[in-house]
Structure 1
Amino acid sequence: MSQYDHPTNRDPSNKTFEPIEHYGVVGNLETCALVSRRGSVDWFPIPHLESSSAFSRLLDGGGGCFAIQPVDPFESTHRYRERTNVLETTFQTEGGTLRLTDFMAPMTDGESEISERTLFRKLDCLEGNVDLRIVFEPRFDFARTEPTLSATTEGVHATGDETPLCCWTTFAAQPFEIDTAASHATATATLTAGQQEWVGVSYGEAVAPTTETCEQALVETVDYWREWSHSCGNQAECVFGGPWHDLAVRSGLVLKLLTHDETGAIAAAPTTSLPEEIGGVRNWDYRFNWIRDAAFTVQALSNLGHTAEAREYLSWFLDLCRTTTPADLQPLYSLHGESGLAEQTLGHLSGYRDSQPVRIGNEAADQRQLDIYGELLLAVFEATRSGITLAETDWQAICEIVDYVTEIWQEPDSGIWEVRSEPLNFVFSKLMCWVALDRAVDLAEQQGFSAPLDRWRRHREEIRTEILDEGLDPTGSYFVRSFEEDDVLDAATLMIPFVGFLPFDDPRVRATIEAVDDRLTSETGLVYRYDGPDGLPGGEGTFLLCSFWLVDALALTGRVEAAETRLEELIGYVNPVGLLAEEVAESTGQQLGNFPQAFSHIGLINSALHVSRAKGMAVPGTELIGIELGTGATVEAVRDHNHSDT
């Protein structure tokens, strides 16, 4: 329970920052809004996730918000309705109890009278009487523009150079008071036990819905999410069985929220510039479609039984491949496929807890990251295993990518972690180039496609030899981050057995796991990404995806009890509504980085799967036949792809 009984905390206009883990997220498969436990919408890009935000209080105390909360001191709790993305906040005051329900109706192809471009906020007074206050304080274009506010019969209309907003209520005779100088509008009301009212904000249209329409929207939204979400019928027999079952289901719902219904693209996170270190400069915009992240997301959703997303993303990717040469493929794109993501600094925003700069755009789009080709081929390979058929034109585009990998695999790059230092020959990048060739050979053989298999096999073996010759520490015991660095570790090398490069019982695999556990793991059991320079000042928190990777590696090398213990510790960092940011501060346990983060929820889903299946396993790494692993390979595929070496 969160208590907000201090005057500075119960005023929606207060400029203090909420802990990142105090937020929930709602969305409509086009954009997302972050709602704090005190009932304030502090982040809301419109009309799309990569658009500018109309409420940016998350990044600056004066960035604007849309708050509903009791006037009197209160305690509050957050929860989602079971198996939905409908968020409920319950306020407890001395005089009564109020429930606030936040949701957006998902974008669908079906005909409906419901506006998907509305943030609905339902108020239920559960007992007693509650005096409440509504604050509507939009700040268009990341708070670079103060809107013009005008009264309407339903509420307040906000206009400017951006998408207009209409704030409305169903209250009778409860007009907003508009403060023109402060560019905000406020309203107060008293609800009594049993009373229900609606408040909301619509964008791109000025029509306020009726009470009946609001109720219909809630019913349809709950039905949509429950029909979509993972449902096993019998949790005890579910492959995700265990104390993490419901969190795996929640993680799937989070990943679905990050998909863009119109294009099939998948965002890495719905926010920008939430810091990896409080007061630091590692603040990035994650509201884009990373090829790598999206491929992993599709595989995690497939593990939960959601194959439609795999088809939609594969279609998005193949369209991109048919219109872009392999050399011009970027690591990330906008959710609509645009390539221009120039990085800008918003100097007028203070940043979350004074963490500057605040950035929009991401210049990592211009980096060379060779691992993306392997991740793409993994996604295609797994899609065909689930029954998706490739057309001849699709195969031609894939062949061009694979041929390109044979030409450039020896070159340095910026790697999976997008370092801003000089490019290096990262072991993980070489590994994924090997994967690209390996899966392409399999696709050609299994699907009967024409391909230069002898040349592909030759290059695959050359990459393998290079990794084994240059990618180990000087003693040849464990894998390091790059060919240029003798003893710098990288948690990404934990993936070596998962993609079939070496078997789980190989001594170099086991030594790599031990090295990561010994040198990259904090006292609390969380894992840092790497221990070498990256061209940026300051530090960062422990990385949740890498922490889940270590759980997976422990589980599939026979240390099942240790893996289970680590997983139970990891899920202790999940916030009260089941959400995870990118990182966790070792010293405080607070969440850091953009939120919620797809990578972290991918890790949770896969670790839940691995630990659940590994418990009681007789021979580690060999009996999970047909079960998809963290990067998309199955144990069956891993076994088939393990090539002997000396």
Structure 2
Amino acid sequence: MLDKPNLELWPIGNCQVSALVDTEGAFAWGCVPRVDGDPVFCTLLNGARRDEGVWRFEIEGQVSATQHYRRNTPILVTRLEAEDGSALEIHDFCPRFERSGRMYRPVAFIRIVRPVAGTPRLRMVLAPMKDYGGARAENTSGTNHIRYLVEPQALRLSTDAPVGYVLENRTFRLEHDLHFFLGPDEPFVGNLRAEVRQMEALTERYWTHWTRGLHIPLEWQNEVIRCAIALKLCQHEETGAIVAALTTSVPEAPHSERNWDYRYCWIRDSYYTVQALNRLGALDVLEKYLTYLRNIIDSAKGGRIQPLYSVMGQSELDEGHETALAGYRGMGPVRRGNAAFMQIQHDCYGQIVLPTVQGFFDRRLLRMADERDFESLEQVGEMAWAMHDQPDAGLWEFRTRQEVHTYSAVMCWAACDRLANVADRLGRGDRCEVWHQRADAIRAKIESEAWVENGELGGHYGASFESDYLDASLLQMVELRFLSPDNERFLSTFAAVERELRRGDHMLRYAAEDDFGAPETAFNVCTFWLIEALHLVGRDSEARVLFETMLSHTTRSGLLSEDLDYETGELWGNFPQTYSLVGVINCAGLLSKPWSEVR
């Protein structure tokens, strides 16, 4: 059993529910009926209560545990070995495949336990919680099932294992495969063994075929595929929303209280996610997300967009503390909800427009955007134009101060610039001219208000119009096409950012104190932005070394959290973090050798 929680976690899921499996094969985190629901599995955050909120298999006399994903899938295999040489395997997945003309992705977790050597003796602990760790779920049982009374819907474990042994956590001899289907509270139809095995085969087939359609780089293929699968698992397919991470309240640094609930759809994070997956050709994620965005735009009053919404599009995400959970390694608070929904963040207008624009140009899409979509999108553009020089909380979501942040202004510029492109595509010359003029006006404002002269050092763009401090988002000015890589102002800004924010092989998002003091950890996506910038200015060999260094910090599952202690290398922050996975995909694409080298 693990001495203390860590982020060596293996996600499984089906775009409806997900679970994080620890290195011993235990479910350490998992919410129902969706990612922002009640964590029925919560040992990641419940302190010393290791037998509550867990689903764990134990082999008597265990001496080792090893894990791997089946190739190109999120189907996890955990092998437990005992001192007498006996061994078993646990195969974990959430079913996902086409059936009856639709995608079958139930609120369900499947575990198959197989003896693979000797005569292993098995003990199972299944103790789902309710009310955010407040109480164990009551249960009732039948001949081949156990019902767990959680809200808003009960769960039923259907199994061919001895139910009495399961209920009493007794150790018994494992002589043949056992099958466990934890899903909706309804009778399991059909032969459990046959149905579960068919689900396993169909789920594997789905994921291998989905992966087969990705346009991956020549180098770092395994890393890119693993990150792409994890990003897809972060999409709530019912609505198309993409969450920032699967967890809440893993602190950005020890005892920092920078503990946030990331199980919501940030417009900013989702923009970067669909951008990265689109580069790999995963149009299904983009299409579903565009549907989500259209609903957000329709419900926006006067074109005003919040920074984040629930996966169902809910706008009210009141933030509170869940006191029954002690927090990651006892470092509370555990937050539910996120007060950032009330913040003003003007960059979100660009992040609505940029992915939506593809719908007007990409003929592969099942539903291309039309004139009506352009009219709706112009409302968002009007807000970008109105707010480009107004104070906001910025992309780092400062809670106690507002400034005119340069990144937000550049994103507003990008919104107007891309709307001009769409207007031209639709033959709307009048609107094209309007949006071009607005983009030019915003550009002029940024050039005059954000630039900071710095004597012999050559000057740089500031993180905001009101101050001269730096942040890593300034490196995105090339990605957004505001500047070219050889632009003198970009080169001078890059030099300043690297000088002030780089810590060895890693990058801070900013060094100035914020609402919680000075940042203590590197922000992983910023390190990837550094790698991209190094490539853009021709420092490819250095970029490759830093990229390999970042990959060395990934978990055994091949993933990253939000933050990293740049002195110890330990991962911190919510997991898996979409920003960080996007960084892996983008940098691999930039730095890889071309496929032509193997032809």
Q: Which residue does 2:35 correspond to in 1?
A: 49
Query: Does 2:171 align with 1:188?
Result: yes
- Of 450, 459, 467 in structure 1, the residue corresponding to residue 446 of structure 2 is 467
Give the whole-Å Cα distance in 1 for the aligned partners of 2:592 and 2:233: 25
Decide whether aligned partners of structure 1 residues 415 and 326 sit closer, same or farther in structure 2, where only a CA change above 3 A counts: farther
Query: Does 2:569 align with 1:593?
Result: no
Q: Secondary structure at the match of 1:126?
A: strand
Decide whether aligned partners of structure 1 residues 111 and 196 sit closer, same or farther in structure 2, where only a CA change above 3 A counts: farther
Once the two structures are TM-superposed, the CA of residue 145 in structure 1 deviates from its matched residue by: 3.0
Give the whole-Å Cα distance in 2 for the aligned partners of 1:571 and 1:435: 31
Decide whether aligned partners of structure 1 residues 451 and 85 sit closer, same or farther in structure 2, where only a CA change above 3 A counts: farther
Query: Does 2:531 align with 1:579?
Result: no
Give the whole-Å Cα distance in 2 for the aligned partners of 1:177 and 1:506: 66
Give the whole-Å Cα distance in 2 for the aligned partners of 1:577 and 1:108: 26
Q: Secondary structure at the match of 1:435?
A: helix
Q: Which residue does 1:119 correspond to in 2?
A: 109
Alpha-carbon contact 2:244-2:577 (below 8 Å) kept: yes
Paired letter, 2:96: P
Paired letter, 1:78: Q
Query: Does 2:58 align with 1:69?
Result: yes
Q: Secondary structure at the match of 2:139?
A: strand
Deviations 1:193-214 (Å, cap 9, x if unpaired)? xx32223422343538611111
Decide whether aligned partners of structure 1 residues 101 and 538 sit closer, same or farther in structure 2, where only a CA change above 3 A counts: farther
Q: Secondary structure at the match of 1:377?
A: helix
Query: Does 2:203 align with 1:221?
Result: yes
Query: Does 2:482 align with 1:496?
Result: no
Alpha-carbon contact 1:170-1:198 (below 8 Å) kept: yes
Once the two structures are TM-superposed, the CA of residue 333 in structure 1 deviates from its matched residue by: 0.9
- Superposed CA RMSD in Å reads 2.3
Decide whether aligned partners of structure 1 residues 177 and 109 sit closer, same or farther in structure 2, where only a CA change above 3 A counts: closer
Alpha-carbon contact 2:248-2:336 (below 8 Å) kept: yes
Give the whole-Å Cα distance in 2 for the aligned partners of 1:447 and 1:125: 62
Give the whole-Å Cα distance in 2 for the aligned partners of 1:463 and 1:363: 29
Paired letter, 2:63: F
Decide whether aligned partners of structure 1 residues 615 and 430 sit closer, same or farther in structure 2, where only a CA change above 3 A counts: farther
Give the whole-Å Cα distance in 1 for the aligned partners of 2:216 and 2:146: 50
Alpha-carbon contact 1:141-1:162 (below 8 Å) kept: no
Alpha-carbon contact 2:125-2:166 (below 8 Å) kept: no
Alpha-carbon contact 2:97-2:202 (below 8 Å) kept: no
Q: Which residue does 2:467 correspond to in 1?
A: 485
Decide whether aligned partners of structure 1 residues 442 and 112 sit closer, same or farther in structure 2, where only a CA change above 3 A counts: closer
Number of equivalenced pairs: 586
Decide whether aligned partners of structure 1 residues 166 and 616 sit closer, same or farther in structure 2, where only a CA change above 3 A counts: closer
Query: Does 2:193 align with 1:211?
Result: yes
Give the whole-Å Cα distance in 2 for the aligned partners of 1:295 and 1:447: 23
Q: Which residue does 2:6 correspond to in 1?
A: 19
Alpha-carbon contact 1:83-1:225 (below 8 Å) kept: yes
Give the whole-Å Cα distance in 1 for the aligned partners of 2:566 and 2:425: 47
Superposition map of 1:355-366 within 5 A: 355-366=331-342
Give the whole-Å Cα distance in 2 for the aligned partners of 1:298 and 1:286: 17
Query: Does 2:588 align with 1:605?
Result: no
Give the whole-Å Cα distance in 2 for the aligned partners of 1:538 and 1:220: 49
Q: TM-score, normalised by structure 2?
A: 0.93
- Of 295, 304, 315 in structure 1, the residue corresponding to residue 280 of structure 2 is 304
Decide whether aligned partners of structure 1 residues 111 and 134 sit closer, same or farther in structure 2, where only a CA change above 3 A counts: farther
Q: Which residue does 2:252 correspond to in 1?
A: 276
Paired letter, 2:502: T
Give the whole-Å Cα distance in 2 for the aligned partners of 1:540 and 1:313: 34
Alpha-carbon contact 1:156-1:176 (below 8 Å) kept: no
Decide whether aligned partners of structure 1 residues 280 and 615 sit closer, same or farther in structure 2, where only a CA change above 3 A counts: farther
Q: TM-score, normalised by structure 1?
A: 0.86
Alpha-carbon contact 2:59-2:120 (below 8 Å) kept: yes
Give the whole-Å Cα distance in 2 for the aligned partners of 1:590 and 1:441: 45
Q: Which residue does 2:218 correspond to in 1?
A: 241
Give the whole-Å Cα distance in 1 for the aligned partners of 2:98 and 2:452: 52
Q: Which residue does 1:38 correspond to in 2?
A: 24
Paired letter, 2:544: E
Q: Secondary structure at the match of 1:607?
A: helix
Q: Secondary structure at the match of 1:354?
A: coil
Decide whether aligned partners of structure 1 residues 281 and 552 sit closer, same or farther in structure 2, where only a CA change above 3 A counts: same
Give the whole-Å Cα distance in 1 for the aligned partners of 2:122 and 2:447: 65
Relative to structure 2, which stretch is displaced further, 507-516 or 403-412? Answer: 507-516
Paired letter, 2:264: F
Q: 5+ residue gaps in structure 2?
A: none
Q: Secondary structure at the match of 1:489?
A: coil
